[in-house]
Chain A
Amino acid sequence: MEAFWIILVGSLIAVSCALLGSYLILRKMAMVGDAISHAVLPGIVIAYLLSGSRETLPMLIGAAALGVLTTVIIELFHKKSNLQMDASIGITFTWLFAIGIILISLFAGQVDLDQDCVLYGEIAYVPLDLWITDSGYNMGPRTVWIASGLLLLLLLFIWKGYRGLFITTFNEEFAKALGIGVAFWHYALMGAVSLTTVISFESVGAILVVALLIVPPATAYLITTDLKKMLLLSSIFGILSAIGGYYLAVLINGSIAGAIASVAGLLFLSVWVTGLVKNRAFKLN
Chain B
Amino acid sequence: MISIETHNLTVSYNRRPVLWNIDFELPTGKIIGIIGPNGSGKTTLLKAIMGLVPTSSGYVKIFDQDLNDVRSRVSYVPQRESVDWDFPASVMDIVLMGRYKKDTLFKRISKADKDLAAEALEKVNMLEYSNRQISQLSGGQQQRVFIARSLAQGADIYIMDEPFVGVDAATEEAILKLLSDMKDEGKTVVVVHHDLQTAKDFFDWIVLLNTRMVAAGPIEEIFNEKLLQEAYGGKLNVLSQVGDLMKEKAFDVRE
Q: Within the complex, which residue of B50, B82, B105, B135 is in contact with A171, where a contact is CB–CB below 8 Å?
A: B82
Once bound together, how far apart are the Cα atoms of A108 and B50, in whole Å?
A: 54
Give the residues in chain B near A280, CB-CB below 8 Å. 135-136
Over the window 241-285 of chain A, the binary record of Cβ atoms lying under 8 Å from chain B Cβ atoms (1 yes, 0 no) is 000000000000000000000000000000000000000100101
B136 → chain A, closest Cβ, in Å?
7
| Minimal Cβ-Cβ distance residue in A for B71 | A179
B105 touching A164, Cβ below 8 Å: yes
Stretch from A32-40, A41-49, A221-229 at the B interface: A221-229
Could you say which residues of chain B place their CB within 8 Å of the CB of A179?
A: 68, 71, 101-102
Residues of B within 8 A of A221 (CB): 88
Residues of B within 8 A of A101 (CB): none
A177 to chain B, nearest CB (A): 4
Contacting chain A: which of B89-97, B116-124, B195-203? B89-97
Most buried by B among A28, A164, A166, A180: A166
- The answer, yes or no, to whether B83 is at the interface (CB within 8 Å) is yes
C-alpha spacing A71/B149, complex, angstroms: 31
Q: Which chain A residue has the least Cβ–Cβ distance from B150?
A: A174
Asked if A180 and B68 make an inter-chain contact with CB atoms under 8 angstroms apart, the answer reads no
**CB-based contact B88/A225 at 8 Å:** yes
Interface centre among A167, A173, A174 (most CB of B within 10 A): A174
- A226-B90, A227-B89 given as contacts; is B83 within 8 A of A176 (CB)? no
Q: How many residue pairs, one in A and one in B, have C-beta atoms under 8 Å apart?
A: 83
Closest to A22 in B: B88
**Which residues of chain B come closer than 8 Å to A175, judged between CB atoms?**
100
Question: How far in angstroms is the closest Cβ of chain A from B55?
Answer: 15
A153–B97 CA distance with the chains assembled, in angstroms: 25
Contacts of A82 in B (CB 8 A): 14
Interface size on A, residues (CB 8 A): 31
Residues of chain A within 8 A of B101, CB atoms compared: 178-179
| Complex contacts, B94 vs chain A, CB 8 Å | 170
B223 interface hit (Cβ, 8 Å): no
Chain A proximity mask over B62-83: 1 for CB below 8 Å, otherwise 0: 0000001001001110100011
Residue of A nearest to B108 (CB): A163
Does the CB pair B83–A167 fall under 8 Å?
Answer: no
B251 at the interface (CB under 8 A from A): no
B133 adjacent to chain A (CB < 8 Å): yes
CB distance from A19 to the nearest CB of B (A): 14
A236 within 8 A of B: no
How far apart are the CA atoms of A241 and B102 in the complex, in Å? 38
Q: Which residues of the other chain, B, contact A226 by a CB distance below 8 angstroms?
A: 88-90, 133
Interface centre among B47, B75, B88 (most CB of A within 10 A): B88
Residues of B within 8 A of A (CB): 14, 47, 50-52, 68, 71, 74-76, 78, 82-84, 87-90, 93-94, 97, 100-102, 105-106, 109, 131, 133, 135-136, 149
Q: What are 20 of the A-B contact pairs (CB < 8 Å)?
A: A82-B14, A163-B106, A163-B109, A166-B89, A166-B97, A167-B100, A169-B87, A170-B94, A173-B47, A173-B76, A177-B50, A179-B68, A180-B100, A180-B102, A221-B88, A225-B88, A225-B89, A226-B133, A227-B88, A283-B133
Beyond A160-B106, A171-B97: 20 further Cβ-contacts under 8 Å?
A: A26-B87, A161-B106, A163-B106, A171-B83, A173-B47, A174-B76, A174-B149, A175-B100, A177-B50, A177-B74, A177-B75, A178-B71, A178-B101, A179-B68, A179-B102, A226-B88, A227-B87, A227-B89, A227-B93, A230-B88
The 3 closest A-B pairs by CB, nearest first: A177-B76, A225-B133, A179-B102
